A and B are shown apart, each in its own frame.
Chain A
Amino acid sequence: MSYLFESFIGWKSYCEEKNMALYESVIEYEVTQKGKSESDIWKNLDKAYQVMKEAVETGLKDDMSSRSGMINNGAKKVYNHSQAVLSPEFQKLISRALAAKEVNSCMGRVVAAPTAGASGILPGTLYTLQEIHQLSDQKIFEGLLVGAGIALIIEQKASLAGAVGGCQAETGSAAAMASGAIVFCLGGSVDQIFNAVAITIQCMLGLVCDPVAGLVEVPCVVRNASAAAIAYSSAQISLAGVGAVIPVDECVEAMGEIGANMETKYKETALGGLAATLTGQEISKRVLIQDIEILPDEELPE
């Protein structure tokens, strides 16, 4: 089954041939390729989802201020604000994605899904989905497996690392995983799941990684919230049967192409974009260590 998780079309035809659900093929992959037992897989998913829910709750309860001062209990303020711009559910979604990501910025425990920089998106979306639709934990675990399959393909065809593909690779991939998981959990077809992934990627394409002072804080935290919202908008569009026009595999290839051609200053180096703004540079000067012994050019350390 070496061709599995190289393309979405390959994944779909594999599951059709074997008359398998998407999540079942992900389990089969992990058992045959990674030598895990099925019971360990469910146990690990349970642990991961537990840590995700804890991150959401910790972020809404404990003090979340980062050492740089850029992150300062934003999630709680959003959660408790008296005015809901759309609905209380939307307000919760946004604050939960912020909360889990703030925990990451403030050295709390998170699940890197797929990366630490995007660790608020799956917790925020799935926590809220489970609450609104009264889904079982088992359904959410299956959704996580679908999300993992999506990420495995993106990793093969493009990248999941900000340093390689920019922010689209991190928050974009996490949003795609979340969107596919949402459509799966709400009973969408394989085509609808993949369509949601395609639409999400279309919405996240081109996003650069330009972290202020190189820290995983600004704009990472707010981008986790917007990525969560995009995961839901894409799921809503896809469940109604509205197509993405460009097939999902081609959308992922576009993401890879954009990542490959993105300038280095937009790939986690903190040399461009928001990091290079006047304020960004001032913050950088304040939070980065200045007391450094700089070796002369030719001299090598002992």
Chain B
Amino acid sequence: MGTKSSVFDMIGPVMIGPSSSHTAGVVRIARSSIKILGGIPDEALITFYNSFARTYEGHGSDLAILGGLLDMKTDDANIKKSFEKAKENGLKYTFKSIGNASVYHPNTIKLNLTRGDRKIEVIGESLGGGIINIAEVDGFHANFSAQSHTLIIKAQDISGAIAFISSVIAQEKTNIATMSVSRKGKHDLACHVIEMDSGLQPITIEYLKSLPWVKELIYIPDIDL
């Protein structure tokens, strides 16, 4: 049996209809992705898989994903106007539907986003009740919910990297909830995805960034904040 619910899971959340997995969850996937990208994209290729492939329009998931890409929160009444807002913000987008993709959760979205010369690919799953899992970032396994504080570090695959990063986090008395590390190959690029119960100070983040073997660091506080 899972953790007991809050009163405000029963009377809440306040959200944009019609369905928590098709709107709230989708908005959260998009907002997590733009935190990884570093801002609102210029261009987005949005691929809906399996169950989402057929239903995304009827449930308004197309509006929800654009709303999230424009940094709207899950209860923003403007989500309904996302097509107009995308035009105003110069966001170019393409939708694609793919069925029978057996490796993904039934409600999966892939986002290929471009901002200036930065390009990212994010795969997100809407698990129901507005809960999400970011399954992959740029081909690396990620598996984070974006509901706690998340650190994504791309670094050279050197020995001791995991111990080093976790000891720096431990200095702040921050508890690590989940951690996943994957790499392209031996001594190639590795990706550390760390979910923490509380946030890190800017100075700690800057220190980690300054390490010569750290190639990229993205810090995502709770996406609903």
A binding-site residues for B, Cβ under 8 Å: 5, 26, 29-30, 33-34, 36, 41, 44-45, 47-48, 51, 67-68, 103-117, 119, 122, 144-145, 147-148, 151-152, 155-156, 160-161, 163, 177, 213-217, 287-289, 291-297, 300-301
Contact = CB atoms under 8 A, between A and B. Distances in A.
Interface string B88-114: 000000001111111110000000000
A107 B63 contact: yes
B172 interface: no
B45 to A, nearest CB: 13
Residue from A29, A34, A155 with most neighbouring chain B CB atoms (10 Å): A34
Interface string B114-138: 0000000000000011000000000
B54 interface: yes
Nearest to B108: A301
Contacts of B75: 109
Interface of B: 4-20, 23, 49, 53-60, 63, 75, 77, 79-80, 96-104, 128-129
B7 A30 contact: yes
A115 B20 contact: yes
A293 B104 CA distance: 15
Contact of A161 (B98, B99, B128): B128
Given A288-B54, A294-B99, A215 B7 contact: no
Given A106-B17, A293-B99, A295-B100, A112 B57 contact: no
Contact of B101 (A36, A155, A301): A301
A117 B23 CA distance: 13
Nearest to A30: B7
Contact of B17 (A34, A41, A116): A116
Nearest to B64: A107
A11 B57 CA distance: 43
A287 B54 CA distance: 9
A288 B14 contact: no
Given A44-B12, A105-B17, A295-B99, 7 more contacts: A30-B6, A45-B11, A47-B14, A113-B11, A156-B4, A177-B10, A301-B104
A67 B80 contact: no
B55 A107 contact: no
A148 B10 contact: yes
Contact of A289 (B10, B12, B57, B100): B57
Contacts of B20: 112, 115-116
Contacts of A5: 4
Given A68-B58, A215-B59, A289-B54, A301 B4 contact: no
Nearest to B60: A107
A113 to B, nearest CB: 5
Residue from A104, A161, A163, A177 with most neighbouring chain B CB atoms (10 Å): A104
A163 B21 CA distance: 12
B103 A301 contact: yes
Contact of A111 (B4, B11, B49, B77): B11
Residue from B5, B11, B14, B15 with most neighbouring chain A CB atoms (10 Å): B11
A108 B77 contact: yes
A297 B100 contact: yes
Given A107-B79, A215-B58, A301-B101, A112 B15 contact: yes
B103 A148 contact: no
A293 B98 contact: yes
27 contacts: A30-B8, A51-B14, A67-B60, A106-B18, A107-B17, A108-B16, A108-B77, A109-B14, A109-B77, A114-B9, A116-B17, A116-B18, A116-B19, A122-B11, A145-B7, A160-B10, A161-B129, A163-B128, A213-B55, A213-B58, A214-B55, A216-B18, A289-B97, A292-B53, A295-B99, A300-B102, A301-B103
